[in-house]
Amino acid sequence: MKVEIVGRSVPKSIIQAYEKYLRLERNYSRNTFENYMLDLQKLVNYMDDEGIEFRNITLAQLDTFAAVMRDMGIGARSLGRILSGVRSFYRFLTLEGEVPTDPTELLESPNIGKHLPEVLSVAEIDAIEAAIDPNMREYQRDLAIIETLYSCGLRVSELCELLISNLYLDEGFIRVRGKGNKERLVPISTRAVNELQQWFVQRRELNIKKGHEDYVFVSMRRCTKLSRITLFVRIKQLAELAGITKNISPHTFRHSFATHLLEGGANLRAIQAMLGHESISTTEIYTHIDRSRLREEILLHHPRNIKNNNK
């Protein structure tokens, strides 16, 4: 879909420069790029209607823009995304020297509320692995999948796209291609390395389809790279077999990875780097999980609470 910004309040040359910034410097996917441009069009329409030139917009006028969006029935989550796009545009303008100060610096996003994702305990992860039938052809592959997901905190797509040529197992690292095609090096545990090496022994016996030879994880039946749907279904099956009632998915291992690191004393910035989060605020959700668990522990074990519970 071709997204072309139409409006008087922002010159075409500025729009074209911003497009290049999003595509080349930010390296956004086509879908993300189009969303940013569609959201910018909403701001341009507002400025055109109000007779505001892009260099002169104030924080108060941006707050009014947000209020107009709410009045149009746009929900908090969607409004948050729109305002994120507005901030991106003005960060670009500030970098380019087109505006002296960033008017979005104090622009507040709507309060969506913190959704705390499900987290597995180490015992539950062990139970899922124990639920894998050793007699199944997929046994070693599935063990390697779970250990890699949990050891490296990968997104589902990152695991499915993981390449053999990007594994540095002797050094204890893997190279991961994340959102926006950004690459990062992630440490991998000795246990995950061992499971992968055993999987590769079995994998060499498969007749992998052309074009899929470099993918780490493949379908045992089709001999092509593993699909996200197959992975989702398999994890659900294993959780059910393990008797786990939590609503989990492959992504749950990523949440567990981050939460367990934080509980173990890891630095939040280090966790951010390993997860590939662009903003530290995304990683900070795990501090909320940690605090929630801390509260549960206090309620359970603090002498005052124990006394009250025994009444």
Asked whether residue 114 is assigned to any structural domain, the reply reads: no
Task: Say if residue 145 is in the same domain as residue 231.
Answer: yes
- The residue segments making up the domain with residue 287 are 122-297
Count Cβ atoms within 10 A of the Cβ of residue 58 and give its class: 0-12 exposed, 13-18 middle, 19 or more buried: exposed
Q: Specify if 6 maps to a domain.
A: no
> What tokens were used for 250?
């492959």
Residues 158 and 265 in one domain: yes
CA distance 85 to 89: 6
In a domain, 26, yes or no: yes
The answer to whether residues 86 and 31 belong to one domain is: yes
**DSSP code for 208:** P
In a domain, residue 142? The reply is: yes
What's the domain count of the chain? 2
Domain membership flag for residue 104: no
Cβ atoms 83, 42 nearer than 8 A? no
What residues are annotated to the active site? 155, 179, 251, 254, 277, 286
pLDDT tens for 173-230 read 999 988 777 889 999 999 999 999 999 999 999 999 999 999 999 999 899 999 888 8
SS3 21: helix
Q: Quick check: is 203 in a domain?
A: yes
Which of 267, 280, 305, 254 has its CA nearest to residue 146? 254
> CA 248, CA 257: separation in Å to the nearest integer?
14
> 77: domain CATH number?
1.10.150.130
Structure tokens at 267: 């630095």
CATH at residue 200:
1.10.443.10
Domain co-membership, 82 together with 181: no
pLDDT tens, residue by residue, 24-69: 888 888 888 888 999 899 999 999 988 999 999 999 899 889 888 8
